[in-house]
Amino acid sequence: MEKVSRRDFIKTGAIASVGLTLLTDSISASGSEDKPVKVAVIGTGNRGTSHVGTLLTIKGVEITALCDLVESKAVNAANLCEKAGRKRPAIYVKDKNTYKELLDREQLDAVIIATYWDCHTAIALHAMNNNIYPGIEVPAALTVDDTWNLVETSEKTGIPCMMLENWSFRQDNLALLNMKRLGMFGEIVHCHCAHSHDCIDHWFFDNTTGDQKWPAEYLIKYNRDQYPTHSVGPVISWMDINRGDIFTEIFSTSSASKGINAYFIRKFGENHPNAKLKYRQGDIVTSLLKTKMGKTLVINYDMQLPRPYSNRWMLQGTKGVYYEEKSSIYLVDNSPEYHQWEPWKPYEEKFNHKWWQADLSSQSHGGTDYIMLNRFVEAVRVKGPTPIDVYDSAVMTAIVELSGISIEKNAPVAFPDFTKGKWETSKPYFAMDKFI
């Protein structure tokens, strides 16, 4: 098996554990609910501006500063704050390093990082070294080395570091997590997940001109799972990764790259420059991950072929199976018909998580962003652990580079243990609030 090292996965000289995985069931019960939380947003494009809008609906949040390379985007976000009756945030717009001035100057509790991917890690590291909680948009890093840097800096500074993986907070995924923890699926054996989302005509390229947008460069330069976190985010809790189990290796394989060229020929004609371009990124990347305790996980990257959106989540155990794409479930002890699917929705309603007690359908991504940021803000307010910790953020993030290395070598690659052994005694803590 091909090994990938980050100084043999563990930096010479042990770093003391700071207990980042310990969390009480109710972090809002500390009596500090009204303490203001001062937040900056770095990167005020579509995603960052969406986060500004969500933060403005959370009690006690003060957006004190905004930063972007494009002044008009930062100004637009500042205008949203004023329209909401809040104080106008300071604006930082000089260059790619201006975030340092913001983080050094402003008195902040937290920062939301929604920049281009290649800036995420550097900004988060600077924030932690300034005692500021970073909430990092996905992915938190692009390399295993940078992922280790996040883990080690969080441990050294004692500042929690959270990747903002919103699909971990979906209502259906949290209800399923409740059921898993009640033992309704028995012992978990296998999971499947995917990010199946045709993004060619809006995220990677402009759908009117075909011009490249910034993520398109990754399709040209790399062949890997570019975007694993939305698919794998909920799964790591279902599988108890970092809490009683860990991934030990990953083997990834890729199809040919056909979809992008076919799109350009179909939409713009064969003479469009991007129709003739060679893309390294295969249309479908399939990754198989094995765990220490004998579980398996299959992940699909699928963002370049025509198809409806789906995450294709499946959870399979010794007592039953859940299948998101069918919106169906089968449980040996509960399902009325032997070996017959039954509808999922009644189970979601019955085992609804405590966090989903209000109608949040008007919020961004159907309320998942509100719940995610609200829980993040509560953690910052009480100076406690974030709902997604640095180790879970690291596991999701590392898949990006590791899948590319495995494809290139056509061989399994060792998966780092970012917890350095703490997984053996760490207990599940994400979303432990009881649904009753």
Same domain, 184 and 222: yes
Residue 21, domain member (yes or no)? no
Interval 140-159: pLDDT, tens? 999 999 999 999 999 999 99
Least confident segment among 21-25, 27-31, 429-433: 21-25
Q: What is the pLDDT of residue 359?
A: 85
Instruction: Quote the domain boundaries for residue 243.
Output: 170-360+387-424
Mean pLDDT is lowest, of 49-58, 335-344, 369-378, for 335-344
What's the domain count of the chain? Answer: 2
- Residues in Cβ contact with 381 at an 8 Å cutoff, skipping those fewer than 6 apart: 32, 33, 35, 37, 60, 109
Answer positive or negative: Cα dihedral of 20, 31, 134, 136.
Answer: positive
Residue 6 has pLDDT above 70, yes or no: no
Same domain, 230 and 290: yes
| Residue that terminates a domain, selected from 167, 193, 215 | 167
Local confidence band at 434 (pLDDT 50, 70, 90 cut-offs): low
Q: Which of 132, 167, 202 is the last residue of a domain?
A: 167
Q: Is the peptide bond before 139 cis (omega within 30 degrees of 0)?
A: yes
Is residue 190 located within the same domain as residue 84? no
Is there a domain that residue 296 lies in? yes
pLDDT on residue 250: 99
Q: What is the pLDDT of residue 308?
A: 96
Residue 15 pLDDT grade (very low, low, confident, very high; cuts 50, 70, 90):
very low
Pair 73, 160 in one domain: yes
* End residue of a domain, out of 167, 186, 221: 167
User: Tell me, what's the pLDDT at 358?
Assistant: 86
User: Is the residue at 430 inside a domain?
Assistant: no
180 and 140 in a common domain: no
Q: Is residue 240 a part of any domain in this protein?
A: yes
Encode pLDDT of 189-232 as tens digits: 999 999 999 999 999 999 999 999 999 999 999 999 999 999 99
- Looking up residue 415, the CATH number of its domain turns out to be 3.30.360.10
Same domain, 202 and 235: yes
Quote the radius of gyration of the chain (alpha carbons, Å): 22
Check residue 361 and give its pLDDT.
86
pLDDT at 1: 55
Does the pLDDT of residue 421 top 90, yes or no? yes
The CATH number of the domain holding residue 143 is: 3.40.50.720
pLDDT of residue 32: 54
Residues 242 and 217 placed together within one structural domain of the fold: yes
Higher-scoring residue by pLDDT: 68, 18 = 68
Domain-embedded: residue 380: no
- pTM value is 0.92
Confidence band for 33, pLDDT divided at 50, 70 and 90: low
The stretch 280-301 carries a mean pLDDT of 98
Of 35 and 167, the structure prediction assigns the larger pLDDT to: 167
Rounded mean pLDDT, 165-175: 98
- Residue 7 CA to residue 416 CA, distance in Å, equals 11
Pair 140, 176 in one domain: no
- 196 and 302 within one domain: yes
Q: Quick one: average pLDDT of 282-292?
A: 98
**Does residue 121 belong to any structural domain of this protein?**
yes
333 has pLDDT over 50: yes
Residue 95's pLDDT band, with cuts at 50, 70 and 90, is very high
Are both 180 and 328 inside the same structural domain? yes
